[in-house]
Structure 1
């Protein structure tokens, strides 16, 4: 008996099988997609391969882990205060509500509460795409006090997602104007496109704009298809996982490493 056990995990849509000692320490892992067994200790090679034998599905390369990529190195050296990846959906609104809560009598009508619910609904839908090889960043701060509600990075490309609360509201869109319920029309699509353009400049890559309606909306009326902007309800967001052919896994990781660094956005 080697005393080793195999623990399968999934991360960013890729399966890894970790080989662990009795005390839980990892001594190797098998990446089925790359066909590689990475050894952290050479003297247990035979035991590791024996433990993995029922799981190996084809020819494999066995050896020490490859050196980290530039994207991995950037992530490892990023100061926690500059890392945007831990941001929760609606992070900026959560901070604002904590610092300046509304009076109790106005709590239910505070528009920040609805905006927060919308960002949390859309953000959670985007986070669930992680298993399909996507990354989502939330509340990305921009110079001047603006922010990107959500930035989705995956095989289908990059998307700057602007969220609005639309539950049971009639939504009318006549580019660039958007009307929610009985509210006044505002040139929201102009803002959505401008935010995506700023993200494209910061990341030196095409970022496509998305208007996400957190609802579901009562009814959506489009005078004509908006120029270059996807309009999606939160229930439509899982469909992004079906998009592909734009970015390779290495490109996704490199762009995610750049986007999660707060300093990337200070150049705008």
Structure 2
């Protein structure tokens, strides 16, 4: 699948979701109808799009503090990384998960939504490992990537693990949590990783 842009810095938050929605319903009138029809597939994707937009808006607060972000970083398979945040505290692959009005619970190894199990943790860890391999290969030095889940519009988020392998954060606290972590990258390293990550060719293998 062709990338949304050769320079991924041009991508808007949720661009990959927008393309998916257009593929599902090419007719703009019918697409608009389905956008507001709760049982439609497009309604589900539109909810996810809103979550990505809200997370991206929060990440913008990190600008000016040594952080750089990318959105809708697309793999050749067509799947995408919702957000990449690169800053003094490291590199973070961020998944937006919008669960309006629901109760989200995170134990040592799993996230449940209204007590129903999800694959959020396993998927986030797998994505972070994949991103780390790609960036390490193209940057020429080891790049660690920490997975993050940005929880949007949940009624309640409970995190029980004291040292979670995946950061699960309510979106309104996302910028504060990331900026509060200890620095591990220099300014030059942040810039280099960002330049590599913004090139669509990095993710085409």
Q: Shorter-chain TM-score: what band?
A: 0.7 to 0.9
In 2, the alpha carbon distance for the partners of 1:171 and 1:265 equals 32
Deviations 1:172-220 (A, max 9, x none): 22444322237x42222001000000010011100001011012x2122
**TM-score normalised by L of structure 1:** 0.64
Q: Aligned ranges for residues 57-206 of structure 1 at < 5 Å?
A: 81-101=5-25, 102=31, 104=33, 107-109=36-38, 110-181=43-114, 184-204=116-136, 205-206=143-144
Structure 1 residue 105: Cα displacement: 5.3
SS, match of residue 131 in structure 1: coil
Aligned length: 186
Report which structure shows greater RCO (CA 8 Å, sep ≥6). 2
Deviation at 1:128, TM superposition (A): 2.5
Deviation at 1:151, TM superposition (A): 0.4
Unaligned runs of 5+ in 2: 26-30, 137-142
Structure with more strand by fraction: 1
Verify the 8 A CA contact 2:59 2:174 in the aligned structure 1: yes
- Cα distance in structure 1, aligned partners of 2:162 and 2:187: 31
Distance apart, 1:95 and its partner CA: 1.9
- Secondary structure (helix, strand or coil) at the match of 1:136 reads strand
- Contact persistence 1:176–1:187 (CA under 8 A): no
Structure with more helix by fraction: 2
- What are the ranges of 5 or more consecutive residues in structure 1 without an aligned counterpart? 1-79
TM-score normalised according to structure 2 size: 0.82
CA-based RMSD: 2.1
Larger radius of gyration: 1
